[in-house]
Homo-oligomer: A and B are copies of this chain.
Amino acid sequence: MIKVGIVGGTGYTGVELLRLLANHPEVEVSVITSRSEEGMRVADMFPNLRGHYDLAFSVPDVDTLAACDVVFFATPHGVAMGMAPDLIKRGVRIIDLGADFRIKDVELWSTWYKLDHTCPDLVEMAVYGLPEVNRDQIKNAQLIACPGCYPTAAQLGFIPLLENKLVDHRRLIADCKSGVSGAGRGASVGALMCETNESMKAYGVPGHRHLPEIRQGLALAADRPVGLTFVPHLTPMIRGIHATLYAMLKDPKDGLQELYEARYKDEPFVDVMPAGSHPETRSVKGANTCRISIFRPQNDDTVVVLSVIDNLVKGAAGQAIQNMNIMFGLDESSGLKALGMMP
């Protein structure tokens, strides 16, 4: 059994890791940390875990974590970079669900995250954990930077177009809609039921931290810098991201459906829907799947790609487990076999 540690187990990505790992046949969660909830049993905080976990939260401690085979960081940015160097030295493998190692340009990272980076060398060695792009590197990685939720949906939707240089890379638009769980489990007025339900709004239009991450990934696919307008929206639901992506075709023609199907035909967690389908976020609720549809409305030169994920699964905990499975040579879908919950 692989011994797993989780740092930051009281947020939504933390409890989602616990929920999914409870049914992973080759894993045992042996440590889970929280400074604020030390001593509380995880099943007392999250009653859905009752009967599945006997663990209590402990204060994060490098010695204890070093006894694990792999440590997941389900923490706000800035936490993982503080503990990662010690753990890496001791041979522990790390999967960071936070943002500390996602941006290769450390100065750019500092600009967006308002922090100096304390271990730029680890940024360099970190592998960006998008299996559909980096599976081979993930196999041997010691440190994984798990993609953000919006970046997962947006990149999987855009990259077939960019890899094949089919669209104007300077004018990409990602209009993305997220459920409220993306805002985390911290007490905040803005995420209250009465502030978010029965309403829709954009936020962060002048700039959102996922913008440089998406740009970096798209630039790699396009093999050149890209121009991207990214507008995130808060949607009155708990889980789910719906990315609606717009690009201009250089040479409008048929074949996009086939292109996407070919690009993802061996991917266990990307489902290219039949032509004409509109994916619903609920079709992936609780599942590690990304479903994608491609349209060319009115046969015009604008291509519209729809890409949906569960932000807590393929956009966070599920993708982290997928990375772990790849790193440890397990069946890539171990612990990730649940279907989307409809209704």
Contact = CB atoms under 8 A, between A and B. Distances in A.
Given A198-B198, A205-B304, A205-B306, A284 B341 contact: no
B202 A242 contact: yes
Given A185-B194, A193-B193, A200-B242, A342 B300 contact: no
Contact of A279 (B47, B196, B197): B47
A306 B201 CA distance: 9
A7 B237 CA distance: 33
A187 to B, nearest CB: 4
A298 B112 CA distance: 13
B246 A246 contact: yes
A171 B301 CA distance: 10
Contacts of A188: 187, 192
Interface string A263-305: 0000000010110111111111111000101010110101010
A168 to B, nearest CB: 10
A338 interface: yes
Interface in A153-168: none
Interface string A180-209: 110001111101111111111111011100
Contacts of A236: 193, 235-237
A192 B200 contact: no
Interface string A226-256: 0101110101111110101010100000000
For the complex formed by this chain, how many copies does it contain in all? 4
A30 B5 CA distance: 41
27 contacts: A12-B194, A19-B341, A23-B337, A50-B271, A50-B283, A175-B246, A177-B200, A191-B193, A191-B194, A193-B196, A193-B238, A198-B237, A198-B282, A199-B285, A200-B235, A200-B237, A200-B280, A200-B308, A201-B280, A202-B242, A205-B293, A205-B297, A229-B246, A229-B300, A229-B302, A236-B236, A341-B341
Interface of A: 12, 15, 19, 22-23, 44, 46-52, 171, 173, 175, 177, 179-181, 185-189, 191-203, 205-207, 227, 229-231, 233, 235-240, 242, 244, 246, 248, 271, 273-274, 276-287, 291, 293, 295, 297-298, 300, 302, 304, 306, 308, 312, 337-343
